């Protein structure tokens, strides 16, 4: 029996599905509209096809922002999976009520949600919390707007309503029309946590709120006075802006800057599967998403895959001398290894990225003195401490690489140089604590 069919037979056996029960969904996914509108159904379709199902189709369920993916076995038995996309918070609510097996979220689970769902197990454990893709919250304008960039303080002023006209920004005339995702949206939660909350601001009551990402993008591209925010795949005809955070360089939402999470509004997209949930279809999907085939679907859907690429970094003003030598002679890999907040422990994504890194280095024959690690920190008013901690973070990654037989070429600590976020804010300092990987 082919491997895909043998796995399918096991899934059917463990799910207890019978012909009489074929109308019941074998897997229910609820949560993020950013994920559920297209990416989630595409990943489910790919997984079902890999399992050997035939005539797999994505169909509307009859309710707004809800879809079903249906396939059939070679014996004609129908398999159905449901995806409801009403916002990240609804996914965690559905886990609690038992109405979903898997939550899709375009933001990390909140502490209050963790406590509320503790009966389901530790949803922050590596098996439960999995990053499925990287996205960038993109600030979009009407394509005729001449504005090229904004900083995060200006964004907070605009979306809180303190900056009301385009004249205040030196771009055009008339009132600024605000467009934002709805209150349940993970996209809104991300924007709020990165832009509004740090400055104690709230979204203006004049903002037009929309549940659909597609609809928001269309509205902005048709309104010359508009500004809005959206996930990367939904920019369409609108114009994206470069964003600056603190002392960082202005950054456009390019795939390379989003993949490394250097772009100020980069964010992770997640699946959350309770540890005690033994639904084999959910576990099969979690495994498929991390595979090469799954990440190819992520890329084809307009998001940024976690596949590793080697990137040439052009020189820029203020580039440190040691970094310039690297840029002239080596290539940077498209990942940054980051750490759990308040800890020297690599976070869940970094641990998964290490597995990808080992596979990439082996395939590229880079195990022997071809790798340089560059660590970064934040100031906290003590540059010497930042330099030391940047080296210690690089050493923590080195330990993991050495265990797999990688012999490093060099290890560099650059302290608080080259920040990618505002060091005056806690969330910015966390983002600046990172380790880059370079290869010759």
Are 88 and 116 in the same domain? yes
What's the whole-number mean pLDDT along residues 330-342? 89
pLDDT in tens, 197-207: 989 999 999 99
Are 324 and 398 in the same domain? yes
Are 184 and 144 in the same domain? yes
Look at residue 381 in the predicted model and tell me its pLDDT.
Answer: 66
Are 73 and 158 in the same domain? no
In a domain, 255, yes or no: yes
Are 391 and 431 in the same domain? yes
Look at residue 431 in the predicted model and tell me its pLDDT.
Answer: 87
Are 17 and 112 in the same domain? yes
pLDDT in tens, 230-246: 999 999 999 999 999 98
Are 41 and 124 in the same domain? yes
Higher pLDDT, 13 or 397: 397
Least confident piece of the model among 29-38, 184-193, 303-312:
184-193
Are 7 and 51 in the same domain? yes
Look at residue 12 in the predicted model and tell me its pLDDT.
Answer: 59
Q: List the CATH number of the domain containing 166.
A: 3.40.190.10
Last residue of a domain, one of 259, 289, 321: 259
**Can you tell me whether residue 317 is helix, strand or coil?**
coil
Are 344 and 374 in the same domain? yes
Look at residue 368 in the predicted model and tell me its pLDDT.
Answer: 95
pLDDT in tens, 314-323: 988 889 999 9
> Residue 22: pLDDT above 60?
no
In a domain, 268, yes or no: no
In a domain, 385, yes or no: yes
Least confident piece of the model among 218-227, 244-253, 266-275, 375-384:
375-384
Look at residue 18 in the predicted model and tell me its pLDDT.
Answer: 41
Q: List the CATH number of the domain containing 359.
A: 3.30.1330.60
Are 312 and 429 in the same domain? yes
Higher pLDDT, 163 or 431: 163
Least confident piece of the model among 17-21, 336-340, 418-422:
17-21
Last residue of a domain, one of 259, 290, 322: 259
pLDDT in tens, 123-145: 999 999 999 999 999 999 999 99
* Cβ partners under 8 Å of residue 268, min gap 6: 108, 131, 133, 134, 135, 261, 349
pLDDT band of residue 278 (cuts 50, 70, 90) is: very high
Query: In 177-317, which ranges are E strands?
Result: 177-181, 208-210, 226-231, 239-240, 242-244, 266-272, 310-311
Are 296 and 280 in the same domain? yes
Look at residue 424 in the predicted model and tell me its pLDDT.
Answer: 80
In a domain, 410, yes or no: yes
User: What is the percent of the chain with per-residue pLDDT over 90, rounded to a whole number?
Assistant: 80
Domain that holds residue 410: 308-439
In a domain, 265, yes or no: no
What's the whole-number mean pLDDT along residues 69-86? 95
In a domain, 192, yes or no: yes
Last residue of a domain, one of 259, 292, 319: 259
Instruction: Compute how many other C-beta atoms are within 10 angstroms of the C-beta atom of residue 46.
Output: 21
Look at residue 386 in the predicted model and tell me its pLDDT.
Answer: 86
In a domain, 266, yes or no: no
Are 149 and 218 in the same domain? yes
Q: Looking at the 3D structure of the chain, how many domains does it have?
A: 3
> Residue 9: pLDDT above 80?
no
What's the whole-number mean pLDDT along residues 334-349? 84
Look at residue 7 in the predicted model and tell me its pLDDT.
Answer: 60
**Cβ atoms 213, 34 nearer than 8 A:** yes
- What would the DSSP string read from start to end of 349-378? HHHHHHHHHHHHHHHTT-TEEEEEEEEE--
């Amino acid at each position: 029996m082919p491997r895909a069919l043998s796995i399918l037979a096991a899934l059917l056996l463990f799910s207890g599905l019978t012909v009489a029960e074929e109308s019941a969904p074998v897997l229910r996914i609820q949560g993020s509209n950013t994920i559920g509108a297209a990416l989630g159904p595409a990943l489910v379709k790919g997984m079902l096809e890999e399992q050997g199902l035939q005539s797999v189709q994505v169909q509307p369920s009859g309710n707004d922002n809800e879809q079903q993916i249906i396939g059939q076995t070679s014996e004609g038995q129908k398999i159905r999976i449901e995806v409801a996309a009403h916002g990240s918070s609804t996914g965690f609510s559905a886990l609690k009520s038992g109405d979903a097996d898997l939550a899709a979220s375009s933001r990390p689970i909140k502490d209050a949600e963790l406590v509320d769902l503790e009966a389901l197990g530790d949803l922050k454990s590596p098996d439960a919390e999995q990053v499925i893709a990287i996205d960038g919250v993109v600030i979009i304008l009407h394509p005729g707007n001449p504005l090229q960039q904004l900083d995060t303080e200006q964004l907070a002023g605009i979306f809180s309503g303190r900056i009301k006209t385009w004249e205040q920004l030196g771009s055009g005339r008339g009132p600024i029309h605000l467009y934002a995702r709805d209150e349940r949206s993970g996209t809104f939660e991300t924007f709020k946590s990165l832009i509004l909350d740090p400055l104690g601001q709230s979204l203006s009551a004049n903002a037009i709120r929309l549940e659909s990402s597609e609809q928001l993008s269309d509205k902005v591209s048709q309104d010359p006075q508009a500004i809005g925010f959206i996930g990367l795949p939904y920019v369409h005809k609108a114009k994206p802006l470069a964003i600056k955070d603190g002392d960082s360089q202005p950054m456009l939402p390019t795939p390379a800057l989003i993949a490394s999470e250097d772009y100020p509004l980069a964010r992770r997209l997640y699946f959350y599967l309770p540890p005690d949930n033994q639904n084999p279809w959910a576990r099969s999907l979690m495994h498929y998403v991390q595979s090469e085939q799954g990440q190819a679907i992520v890329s084809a859907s307009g998001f940024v895959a976690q596949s590793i690429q080697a990137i040439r970094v052009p020189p820029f003003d203020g580039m440190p001398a040691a970094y310039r030598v690297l840029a002239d002679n080596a290539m940077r890999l498209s990942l940054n290894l980051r750490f759990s907040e308040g800890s020297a422990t690599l976070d869940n994504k970094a641990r998964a990225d290490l597995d990808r890194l080992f596979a990439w280095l082996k395939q590229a024959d880079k195990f022997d003195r071809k790798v340089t690690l560059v660590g970064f920190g934040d100031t906290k008013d003590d540059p010497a401490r930042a330099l030391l901690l940047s080296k210690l973070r690089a050493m923590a990654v080195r330990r993991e690489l050495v265990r797999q037989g990688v012999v490093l070429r060099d290890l560099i600590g650059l302290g608080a140089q080259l920040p990618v976020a505002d060091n005056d804010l806690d969330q910015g300092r966390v983002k600046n604590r990172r380790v880059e990987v370079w290869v010759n």
